[in-house]
Amino acid sequence: MSENGSAAVEHGKRVREMFGKIAGRYDVLNHLLSGNVDKRWRKKVANKLKTKLVGKDPLILDVACGTGDLSLTLFENTGARVIATDFCRPMLSIAADKVPGTINLIEGDALRLPFRDATFDAVTIAFGLRNLASVEGGLAELLRILKPSGWLVVLEFSRPTNFILRPLFGLYFKRILPLMGGMISGSLSAYTYLPNSVSRFPDQEQLALLMKDSGFQQVSFDNLTGGIAALHMGSRSS
Ligand SMILES: C[S@@+](CC[C@H](N)C(=O)[O-])C[C@H]1O[C@@H](n2cnc3c(N)ncnc32)[C@H](O)[C@@H]1O
């Protein structure tokens, strides 16, 4: 295995173990630390995607589904069939208790998804892309499994656009959230990793560019809650 390949495997292992440790507290903390805004963001993904789903009986793959909140929101709000995948078993076990049996949960790595080319009408990834060893590698894999004219939606933390909100959110996200998250989850490192991984991740414009460079078309994004998060969309060419 190449040096890059083994670094990617190591990175994946660390991320999987980290989510495995916090899985039991993940949902509570998500809703608490975001003041429940995360639910609105996921609903927005479903509503945006619904307008893009054409044809009979569309099939969505929710990648890095974690405990299944977005998978469930997609299922309840789009009318599409949903498959959900993640590489962390403890996160998937929590999802299994929450989602209906009609949502198939499949263990899989976002960088090597166990699906044939051009399988899905839409693919979503919420707060997952940032965690991959290679964002470009992830985007290439998501494009591969999309049908022609299919849509990708990425929901991810981004950069607040408002000059008043930016420093206030920075203070909360980098100082207060790690302490609260660390105390409640018992893993300070996981909630220190969160702001660190967001600051390494491309901002709104850079991610849009990366999606275009990866072969996505009609790329656009919406800032959510003043740019604290962003919703990017792009399609596979017909
Ligand atoms: C922050 S959670 C997001 C979960 C869910 N999408 C949500 O909206 O709450 C990130 C998830 O990405 C998963 N993940 C990270 N890297 C992955 C990879 N290479 N393949 C599959 N899942 C991955 C983790 O296991 C974790 O469940």
pLDDT tens over the chain, length 238 residues: 566 789 999 999 999 999 999 999 999 999 998 899 999 999 999 999 999 998 789 999 999 999 999 999 999 999 999 999 999 999 999 999 999 999 999 999 999 999 999 999 999 999 999 999 999 999 999 999 999 999 999 999 999 998 889 999 999 989 998 999 999 889 899 899 999 999 999 999 999 999 999 999 999 999 999 999 999 999 999 9
- Ligand 1 atom closest to 62 (CA): 6
Instruction: Name beta bridge partners: 124.
Output: 62, 153
Q: At a CB cut-off of 8 Å and minimum separation 6, what does 172 contact?
A: none
**What confidence score (pLDDT) does residue 1 get?**
59
Q: pLDDT at position 54, please?
A: 83
Does ligand 1 come within 6 angstroms of the Cβ of 65?
yes
pLDDT the model gives residue 56: 84
Atom of ligand 1 nearest to the CA of 88: 25
What's residue 5's pLDDT? 85
Q: Please give the Cα distance from 226 to 238 (Å, whole number).
A: 33
Q: What DSSP designation does 176 have?
A: I
**198, 126 Cβ separation under 8 angstroms:** no
Report how far ligand 1's centroid is from the alpha carbon of 169 (Å): 23
CB of 88 within 6 A of ligand 1: the answer is: yes
- Cβ(131) to ligand 1 under 6 A? yes
Six token digits for residue 95: 């999802």
Per-residue pLDDT at 3: 64
Predicted pLDDT at 154: 98
Pocket lining: 111 vs ligand 1, CB cutoff 6 Å: yes
Q: Is the CB of 19 under 6 A from ligand 1?
A: yes
Which helix or strand (DSSP H or E) is residue 6 part of?
helix 3-34
Beta-strand relationship, 81-86 and 229-235: unpaired
For residue 64 and ligand 1, the question of a CB distance below 6 A is answered with yes
CA dist 238 and 118 (Å) reads 11
- For 17, 59, 138, 143, 149, the CA distances from 90, given in Å and listed in that order, are 9, 25, 22, 27, 34
Q: What is the 164 CA–ligand 1 centroid distance (Å)? A: 31
Measured by CA distance, the residue closest to atom 1 of ligand 1 is 127
Ligand 1: atom nearest CA of 111 is 19
Determine the Cα–Cα distance for residues 24 and 66; give it in Å rounded to an integer. 11
Residue 2: predicted pLDDT: 67
12 lines ligand 1 (CB under 6 A): yes
How crowded is the C-beta side of 137, counted as CA atoms within 13 Å?
A: 14
- Distances, alpha carbon 122 to alpha carbons 27, 96, 214, in Å: 25, 22, 16
Count, residues in the chain: 238
| Phi, psi values for residue 201, rounded to 5° | -80, 145
